[in-house]
């Protein structure tokens, strides 16, 4: 589904000499940037309750996220390499299912592969970056917490092709393949829940849109019954970066306005005008998501009060709740973009409010039979 202008995927993560030098030079100011942020923002209201380690970590991540995409892709690698390293470090099996159909998409299982009850994780990263180890660690933590509730759940991470090496609807079709694989493996929709952060939340909304309004270019999704639930964490509902919170929270969130604006423009150009509702759910027609309860039994949406995407998420959530009555929206006070992952990135002893909420919400979805 790549256009003739799509770059060769074999170039992913490969930097020229000048780009490599640029990466080194871009990282040199990092210690000074972090120190300055700690000194000037540690007592800011949005950092209330955060440790100095977490504040320093947020500052470091903000600087790193502003680097050019090729440098980030070279530094972070691929989903498969990140997953393999994470599994080895945690002494867990590395279980990979190829999704086939000439696709380079895979399901990467966190911990034991289980297909009685499954959580499918669609990762964020603006469709440009792979899943992070902290995000994977977060879902492993959730998996273990569910086990304490006598719920043995398989957690599968979808590896999809990143931009600019693939454009819409490639990732949507790969997510469709993941659903098809799980259903063929015997997973019942009532025993499946989807979770997605940022671009992963965007991808869940693409799946929902495609189920309700099938694209002619890829196979339709037919469900014998609704999927148990979908949790959208800081979902990327607008790629345009024009809401007030983009300016208000620039400098608080680890995503900056210039960064998210550049990323959004890169992804948005891959969407034809006729598929604008797939690109920006917050701007979809008012009746676009009518029938959503036939796709997902329950929906949870969360956002951080200090994240740049906040206003778009709030607007989308309020509109979506009118079309899906079993929808809950949670705004985390002073939370940053996908804030719960950051606690795991910096090994915080105390997790934020969204972590126990996630466990409880997923547990309820599997228990309500």
Homologous superfamily (CATH) for 77-367: Alpha/Beta hydrolase fold, catalytic domain (3.40.50.1820)
pLDDT digits (tens, 9 = 90+) for 173-206: 999 999 999 999 999 999 999 999 999 999 999 9
Q: What is the pLDDT of residue 10?
A: 87
**What is the SS3 assignment for 163?**
coil
Q: What is the pLDDT of residue 171?
A: 97
CA gap 320, 325 in Å, rounded: 9
Burial class (CB in 10 A: 0-12, 13-18, 19+), 82: buried
Band of pLDDT at residue 1, cut at 50, 70 and 90: very low
**What's the average model confidence in pLDDT over 323-352?**
93
**What's the average model confidence in pLDDT over 221-244?**
97
Q: If you average pLDDT over every residue of the chain, what do you get?
A: 95
Q: Where do the domains of the chain lie?
A: 77-367
Q: What is the pLDDT of residue 102?
A: 66
Q: What is the pLDDT of residue 347?
A: 86
Six-digit token pair at 347? Answer: 């090994």
Residues in the chain: 369
pLDDT tops 50 at residue 357 = yes
Phi, psi (degrees; rounded to nearest 5) at 259: -65, -50
Q: What is the pLDDT of residue 101?
A: 66
Percent of the chain with pLDDT over 90: 92
How far, CA to CA in Å, does 68 sit from each of 7, 29, 295? Answer: 16, 15, 37
How far, CA to CA in Å, does 273 sit from each of 47, 268, 277, 278, 357? Answer: 40, 10, 9, 10, 37
Burial class (CB in 10 A: 0-12, 13-18, 19+), 15: middle
pLDDT digits (tens, 9 = 90+) for 304-320: 999 999 999 999 999 99
Band of pLDDT at residue 8, cut at 50, 70 and 90: confident
């Amino acid at each position: 589904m790549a256009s003739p202008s799509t770059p060769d995927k074999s170039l992913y993560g490969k930097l020229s000499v000048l780009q490599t030098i640029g990466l080194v030079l871009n990282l040199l100011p990092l210690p000074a940037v972090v120190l300055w942020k700690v000194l000037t923002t540690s007592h800011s209201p949005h950092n209330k309750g955060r440790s100095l380690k977490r504040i320093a970590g947020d500052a470091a991540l903000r600087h790193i996220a502003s680097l050019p995409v090729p440098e980030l892709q070279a530094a972070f690698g691929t989903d498969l390499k990140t997953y393999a390293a994470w599994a080895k470090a945690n002494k867990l099996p590395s279980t990979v299912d190829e999704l086939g159909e000439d696709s380079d998409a895979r399901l990467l299982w966190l911990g034991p592969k289980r297909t009685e009850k499954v959580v499918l994780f669609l990762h964020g990263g603006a469709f440009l970056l792979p899943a992070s180890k902290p995000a994977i660690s977060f879902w492993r933590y959730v998996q273990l917490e569910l086990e304490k509730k006598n719920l043995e759940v398989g957690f599968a991470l979808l590896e999809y092709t990143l931009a600019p090496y693939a454009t819409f609807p490639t990732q949507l079709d790969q997510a469709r393949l993941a659903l098809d694989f799980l259903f063929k493996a015997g997973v019942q929709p009532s025993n499946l829940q989807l979770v997605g952060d940022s671009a992963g939340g965007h991808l869940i909304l693409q799946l929902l849109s495609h189920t309700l309004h099938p694209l002619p270019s890829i196979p339709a999704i037919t469900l014998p019954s609704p999927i148990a639930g979908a949790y959208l964490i800081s979902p990327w509902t607008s790629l345009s970066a024009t809401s007030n919170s983009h300016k208000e929270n620039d400098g608080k969130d680890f995503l900056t306005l210039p960064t998210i604006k550049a990323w959004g423009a890169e992804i948005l150009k891959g969407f034809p005008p006729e598929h604008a509702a797939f690109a920006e759910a917050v701007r979809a027609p008012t009746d676009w998501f009518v029938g959503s309860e036939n796709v997902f039994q329950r929906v949870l949406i969360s956002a951080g009060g200090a994240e740049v995407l906040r206003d778009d998420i709030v607007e989308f959530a309020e509109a979506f709740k009118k079309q899906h009555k079993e929808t809950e929206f949670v705004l985390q006070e002073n939370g940053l973009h996908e804030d719960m992952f950051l606690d795991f990135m910096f090994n915080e002893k105390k997790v934020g409010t969204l972590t126990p909420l996630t466990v409880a919400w997923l547990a309820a979805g599997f228990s309500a039979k």
